[in-house]
Amino acid sequence: VTATGREALRYGLQALRALGLRLTELAQMSPLSVATLKRHTRSLDPSLAAEGASLEKLSLQSKEALTLVWVHAIARGRPLAPPVPQRAFLDFFCSVCLTRSSRPSPSDGLVERDRTGGWPADLTEALVYGLQTCERGAGVCASAPARFAALLLALRVHPWEAYSFVIGEIAPQRWWVRTCLGCERDVVTEAASTRLCVPCRARSRRSTSHPMGAPGGPHLHRRSVTWT
C-alpha cells in the first residue's frame, strides 16, 4: 500500500469509528489486527462523530438500497461464487478487490513505502485515492472503509446494522445475477439455483397461488429485481 492508499485506508477507518463503530466491531470486519486498527483510529473527525449520533435503524428502503449497491456497484452484475472463506468484509466490499484471489496477510495493510501521500479532504477523495490503490493491486482493500462510511452517511444508517445485514442477507452468497431461462433478461435472484424471473416463474407454475412468493412481511429474499 502506498502512502496515498494508506492514508485513504486510515481516513475510511477513522470515519467508521467516528460514525459509532466500536473497535471490536471494526476488527471483526477488517483484515487488520486490533492493535493496527487502534493505532490508526486514534484521532476522529468531530463533525463525523456528530453525524454518527443521528444515524437511524435500517428501514426496508435502506435494505433494498444496500442490496442494490451490492449487486450493481460491488458485484457489478457478475454471477459470483463466495470469494474466500472468512474473508473480512472491508477487504471485499469493493468491485476491484471482490474477485482478488488471495487473502492478504494482516501485516500487509499499512506498510509504509513512501511519504508522498496526502491526507484526504473528505470521504469522496479517500474513496478515489483508495480505489486507485486497489487498482494497482494493493494487498488490502484501501477503498472499502471509505466506501462503506460514505454509504452509511448517504443512507443514514448505523454501521453495525448495515454490516450485519450485508453479511447475513446479501454478500457474498445470497444474491445472484442470472439470465432468465424464460425471457432471457438479466435478473437478480435470491439463489444460484433460481433461473427464472418472477413473472416467468409465475407463468411456469400456472397456479392460482401467490405469484410473488409468500404474501405478507418483508420479501427481500423472495423478490427478483430486473433491469435491462
Instruction: Assess 212 for contact with Zn ion (CB under 5 A).
Output: no
Distance in angstroms (rounded) separating the CA atoms of residues 23 and 31: 13
Copy the grid coordinates of residue 3.
Answer: 502512502
Judged by CB under 5 A, the number of residues near Zn ion is: 11
Element (H, E) at 225: strand 225-226
* 189 close to 224: Cβ distance less than 8 angstroms: yes
Interface residue with Zn ion, options 1, 9, 48, 94 (CB under 5 A)? 94
162 or 198: CB nearest Zn ion: 198
Cβ at position 181, least distance to Zn ion in Å? 7
The secondary structure element, H or E, covering residue 143 is: none
Nearer to Zn ion, 52 or 141 (CB): 141
Q: Which residues inside 181-210 make contact with Zn ion, applying CB under 5 A?
A: 182-183, 197, 200
Residue 201: C-alpha distances to residues 192, 206, 208, 215, 219 (Å) = 15, 9, 13, 16, 16
Window 157 to 186, contacts with Zn ion (CB under 5 A): 180, 182-183
Amino acid letter for position 21? L
User: Of 63 and 180, which has the nearer Cβ to Zn ion?
Assistant: 180
Residue 67: CB minimum distance to Zn ion, A = 19
CA-CA distance, 4 to 119, in Å (whole number)?
8
Q: What gap in Å lies between CA 113 and CA 183, rounded to an integer?
A: 52
In the complex with Zn ion, the residue whose CB is nearer, 43 or 124, is 124
Piece of 27-35, 95-103, 109-117, 202-210 that binds Zn ion (CB under 5 A) = 95-103
Based on CB atoms, which residue is closest to Zn ion, 2 or 143? 143
Residues in region 59-88 near Zn ion by CB under 5 A: none
Strand ranges, E, within 102-211:
176-179, 186-189
32 binds Zn ion (CB under 5 A): no
Contacts of 28 (CB under 8 A, 6+ apart): 88
CA distance 73 to 2: 25
Q: Does 95 bind Zn ion (CB under 5 A)?
A: no
> Among the candidate windows 39-47, 56-64, 78-86, 133-141, which touches Zn ion by CB under 5 A?
133-141
Which residues contribute to the site for Zn ion (CB under 5 A)?
Answer: 94, 96-97, 134, 141, 143, 180, 182-183, 197, 200
